[in-house]
Amino acid sequence: MHTSMLYARLPELGQLEALVKHQLPHIRTVPVETRKLTTVLLDALPIPLYAVSLGAQDPQAPGLVIVGGVHGLERIGSQVVLTLMNSLCQRLHWDTALQHKLQAIRLVFLPLLNPVGMAKRYRSNGNHIDLMRNAPIDSKEPTAWLVGGHRFSKRLPWFRGEIGLGMEAEAQALVDLIEQESAHRPLTLALDCHSGFGSKDRLWFPYAKSRHQPMKKIGDIYHLKELFFNAYPHQNYIFEPQALHYTCHGDLWDYLYDRSEAGGTHLLPITLEMGSWRWVRKNPLQLADRLGLFHPMKPHRIQRVLRTHLTLMEFLINATYAYQSWYQGELSQCYADTATSLWYPDATPLNLND
């Protein structure tokens, strides 16, 4: 396949490779690194999975990882990440405040985790496996029928993969990257950009596997939410545990979070779930196109979505830089109590000192 045909089919890869080839090499103000984590095959054509890092090379600097395109139909997630990368590339030439921040923190971008799914217009990867159901972790609670992940058949969506086969290359690449990145940092925040659920933009945090068990770092998550909502009172996000809507097996962030707790590292993952149903309501013709359920089709609507989330991501950059102002602070227990009574009324209170 000729490159121009590939880019026509997968414009997000075209944008990303343009950035890698033409923009990143010109940044002189902070360290820049592009890695190919692995390759996946699109009809026998190898496609690299890129991770781009900007900023501090010290493995003990705080970090922020931003991921997009886990689900192939949710193109807008990749575009949101690419928009931020573009904006930072432009600003790094002159914005001394940003340069200063990136001397102290590390940003890592994985804008296109599932290029084959995106090119083929699948939610799953090229092997028909849903990457967000592919982690070796089971919910012990009743999960949503099919949506919660299943092992019946790869012909049905939300397929977890065959038992015992290990993770798919894309899922493994994400897990390895996060574990490597977060191994020595005092805090690693992660934002994973999805779309498709409901009509509002939501920020979800683990667990996806349990409605009743709060994550141990729920006080810090709640604190982060308070900082964001107080600074931006007119924003429109709903902040909540994912399990409030449905529980599922095999969530990569549940898996990574549990491993981080077990290993004593500091990972706080958040999923941005952009509500797409209002795009459909405003433009019912979108229903005619499968992609339209997950991706805004009108240019002005795409622009609005790309603009909207820059504030959130900018906030996360600042929260990473200033992690000592809030992370594991003296208010953590108090926020943990508030969050538990709000979202997990039947849970036994967490004692962070245990």
Residue 295 makes contact with Zn ion by CB under 5 A? no
Half-sphere exposure of 143 (CA within 13 A, CB side): 21
Phi and psi, residue 75, nearest 5°? -60, -35
Among the residue ranges 54-62, 189-197, 307-315, 321-329, the one whose residues contact Zn ion (CB under 5 A): 189-197
Total residue length of the chain: 354
CA distances for 161 relative to 50, 150, 164, angstroms: 24, 8, 9
CA 224, CA 216: separation in Å to the nearest integer?
A: 14
Q: Which stretch binds Zn ion (CB under 5 A): 24-32, 105-113, 191-199, 227-235?
A: 191-199
Choose between 202 and 225: whose C-beta lies nearer to Zn ion: 202
223 binds Zn ion (CB under 5 A): no
Q: Is 7 exposed, middle or buried (0-12, 13-18, 19+ CB in 10 A)?
A: middle
Beta strands in 43-146 (DSSP E): 45-55, 63-68, 106-110
Kindly indicate which of the ranges 33-41, 194-202, 304-312, 331-339 contains the residues binding Zn ion, using the contact rule CB under 5 A.
Answer: 194-202
Token pair recorded at residue 349: 């209170």
* Interaction pattern, residues 16-55, with Zn ion; x per rule: CB under 5 A: ----------------------------------------
CB closer to Zn ion out of 160 and 194: 194
**How many of the chain's residues bind Zn ion (CB under 5 A)?**
3
Q: Which of these segments, 54-62, 65-73, 153-161, 253-261, binds Zn ion (CB under 5 A)?
A: 65-73
Q: Does 194 bind Zn ion (CB under 5 A)?
A: yes
Work out whether 133 is an interface residue with Zn ion (CB under 5 A). Answer: no
Name the residue with the smallest CB distance to Zn ion: 194
Residue placing its CB nearer to Zn ion in the complex, 74 or 254: 74
Q: Is 150 near Zn ion (CB under 5 A)?
A: no
Distance CA 332, CA 313 (A): 23
Q: Select from 23-31, 63-71, 239-247, 279-287 the region that touches Zn ion (CB under 5 A).
A: 63-71
Neighbours of 183 (CB within 10 A): 13
Residue with tokens 């977890």: 160
Residue 223 CA, chain-centre distance (Å), reads 19
Note whether 71 binds Zn ion by CB under 5 A.
yes
266 binds Zn ion (CB under 5 A): no
Query: From the CB of 196, what's the least distance to Zn ion, in Å?
Result: 6
Rounded Cα distance, 3 and 125, in Å: 21
Report angle CA 75, 46, 111 to the nearest 5 degrees: 30
Minimum distance from residue 55 beta carbon to Zn ion (Å): 27
Q: Name the one range near Zn ion by CB under 5 A: 28-36, 73-81, 224-232, 279-287.
A: 73-81
Looking at the Cβ atoms of 293 and 302, the one nearer to Zn ion is 293
Q: How far apart are CA 31 and CA 80, in angstroms?
A: 23
Cα 154 from Cα 11, distance rounded (Å)? 27
Nearer to Zn ion, 205 or 344 (CB): 205
- Chain contacts with Zn ion (rule: CB under 5 A): 71, 74, 194
